[in-house]
């Protein structure tokens, strides 16, 4: 294949830039027409950006093959394919990277070797991108996700790792370093092992029951099922009915149910959920963890929407845990990272137009005087609820710099925090422990700012209070997560798991057009 002067000039500039960014990886060698370059140019459906990424990788190693030798693989190539095969341990189907095709021997001629080499590189960069930021096709399933991406240069990083004999370290560093991810990865292997061994069977029951009144056969079946997830039960020793009853209550707590010990319809449904289904839920949650920063900030606020709970994390401790009320399935709370910008005492509520049109104005039509009784006015076409005892935002609001106009706030309807299912809002987050949270935003401590907040609210006027630091806030969707009491499962209230699992199990084969475009 021949190149005109302009194309050679462009290729030469790309080579120079890569070598400037990654000095001393390989000696600088002019990029000329070669089987590698031809293989890159011949790849169907690749964009110019994707080709530049591939050129960057090979330019950093002087346009020499990276993984192949003759018709086979080098030791590094064998390791590379091992990495792709082990993608299943991360909850990713290895077929996404064309592992079957890459594992087949290729011809020993230069063109075939170059094509195989480039295919391995594309697959590795795609895997690296998936591990670093999650699969772009799965992120695209949800339109209400706004999380930062890691834009490190994975092509240059891979070339340097290969040159420095640190491929293991390179790929290991792509994995989230959080306890949540490590725990889910271990759990994925465990649930898959249970499934491969035939699963845990089904609890036969026609009506609700307690362990203390169950037949010996039903008690044995229940004990065996619970022992898969409860280390306190020894499957080799017959437990008492009271021990099984306690294990049922632990199971209910781990699944977000009332721990009454009765095996009712919902408890039975969860007990009979196959291990294979649990494994897919774990894999979906591992994928969403890859969307988050792999080394999160030391101080942060995290709202887990399916658990309807907020925590403040400070170092390795949770300094506050609070019940929250989050969006209804029809008005889901989005997934995003933002920062606290201010605390507002006695906030007015500027009613969003859809709520005003769809809910409040019809109430006024049915019940004249509704607006006046709720201290609502309309100014220049904007409906506003003035501060006061009936204001929907309560006494405090915490503003965020997110693009969804979601914020954290108080509520006058505090009895709703006692409900187990707290999916009731239009998308914003109502916080039970709003004063300690606001205090933390103001001072970095959950108690030292409360007196100031009480004083501000007592003025009855709207006050905007500056925060000590712009504390990061993460709104996440974790239906499976670790806790001191064991692995927790929550209901897929918005169907995000369902949509993701459907896409993950579609077994989409590797396509050149879906190779990564950068970090």
Of 319, 231, 283, whose CA–CA distance to 479 is shortest? 283
Distance CA(115)–CA(162), nearest Å, equals 19
CA angle centred on 221, ends 217 and 224, rounded to 5°: 140
| C-alpha 452: how far from chain center | 36
Sign of CA dihedral 452, 457, 459, 461: positive
Q: Are the CB atoms for 472 and 358 separated by under 8 Å?
A: no
Q: Which of 210, 294, 409, 464 is catalytic?
A: 409
515 part of the active site: no
Joined together, the tokens standing for residue 311 give 């925590």
CB 148 within 8 Å of CB 307: no
Angstrom distances, CA of residue 319 to CA of 255, 301, 326, 447, 507? 24, 10, 21, 11, 42
Q: Is 374 a catalytic residue?
A: no
User: Dihedral (C-alpha) 45, 48, 53, 58: value to the nearest 10 degrees?
Assistant: 90
Cβ contact 47:40 at 8 Å: no
Which one of the listed residues 165, 210, 294, 428 is annotated catalytic? 428
Tell which residue, 508, 510, 519, has the closest CA to residue 141.
Answer: 508
Rg of the Cα atoms in the chain: 28
Cβ-based burial of 236 (10 A; exposed 0-12, middle 13-18, buried ≥19):
exposed
Task: Output the DSSP codes for 247-276.
Answer: HHHHHHHHTTS-----B-HHHHHHHTS-HH
- Please give the positions annotated as active site: 409, 428
């Amino acid at each position: 294949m021949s190149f005109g002067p302009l194309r050679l000039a462009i290729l030469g500039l790309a080579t120079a830039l890569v070598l400037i960014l990654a000095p001393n990886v390989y000696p600088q060698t002019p990029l000329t027409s070669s089987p590698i370059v031809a293989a890159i140019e011949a790849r169907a459906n690749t964009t110019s950006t994707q080709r530049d990424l591939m050129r960057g990788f090979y330019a950093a190693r002087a346009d020499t093959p990276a993984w192949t030798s003759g018709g086979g693989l080098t030791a590094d190539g064998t390791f590379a394919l091992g990495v792709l095969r082990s993608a299943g341990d991360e909850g990713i189907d290895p077929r996404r990277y064309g592992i079957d095709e890459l594992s087949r021997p290729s011809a020993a001629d230069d063109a075939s070797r170059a094509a195989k080499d480039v295919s391995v590189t594309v697959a590795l960069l795609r895997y690296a991108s998936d591990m670093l930021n999650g699969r772009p096709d799965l992120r695209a399933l949800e339109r209400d996700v706004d999380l930062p991406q890691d834009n490190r240069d994975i092509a240059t990083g891979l070339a340097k790792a290969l040159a420095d004999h640190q491929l293991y370290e390179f790929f290991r560093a792509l994995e989230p370093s959080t306890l949540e991810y490590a725990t889910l990865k271990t759990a994925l292997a465990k649930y898959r092992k249970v499934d491969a061994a035939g699963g845990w069977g089904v609890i036969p029951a026609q009506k609700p029951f307690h362990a203390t009144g169950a037949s010996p056969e039903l008690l044995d079946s229940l004990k065996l099922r619970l022992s898969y997830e409860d280390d306190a039960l020894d499957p080799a020793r017959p437990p008492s009915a009271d021990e099984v009853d306690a294990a049922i209550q632990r199971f209910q707590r781990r699944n977000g149910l009332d721990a009454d010990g009765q095996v009712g319809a919902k408890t039975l449904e969860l007990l009979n959920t196959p291990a294979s289904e649990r494994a897919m839920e774990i894999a979906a949650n591992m994928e969403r963890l890859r969307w988050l920063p792999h080394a999160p900030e030391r101080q942060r606020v995290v709202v887990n929407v399916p658990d309807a709970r907020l925590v403040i994390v400070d170092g390795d401790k949770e300094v506050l845990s609070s019940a929250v009320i989050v969006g209804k399935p029809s008005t889901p709370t989005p997934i995003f990272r933002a920062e606290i910008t201010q605390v507002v005492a006695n906030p007015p509520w500027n009613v969003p137009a859809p709520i005003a049109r769809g809910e409040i104005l019809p109430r006024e039509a049915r019940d004249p005087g509704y607006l006046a009784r709720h201290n609502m006015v309309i100014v220049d076409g904007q409906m506003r609820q003035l501060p006061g005892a009936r204001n929907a935002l309560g006494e405090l609001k915490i503003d965020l710099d997110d693009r969804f106009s979601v914020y954290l706030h108080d509520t006058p309807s505090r009895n709703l925090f006692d409900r187990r299912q707290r999916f009731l809002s239009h998308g914003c987050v109502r916080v039970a422990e709003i004063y300690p949270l606001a205090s933390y935003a103001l001072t970095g401590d959950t108690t030292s700012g409360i007196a100031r907040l009480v004083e501000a609210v007592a003025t009855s006027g709207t006050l905007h209070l500056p925060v000590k630091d712009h504390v990061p806030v993460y709104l996440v969707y974790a239906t499976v997560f670790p806790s001191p009491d064991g692995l927790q499962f929550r209901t897929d209230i918005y169907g995000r798991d369902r949509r993701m699992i459907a896409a993950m199990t579609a077994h989409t084969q590797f396509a050149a057009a879906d190779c990564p475009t950068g970090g």
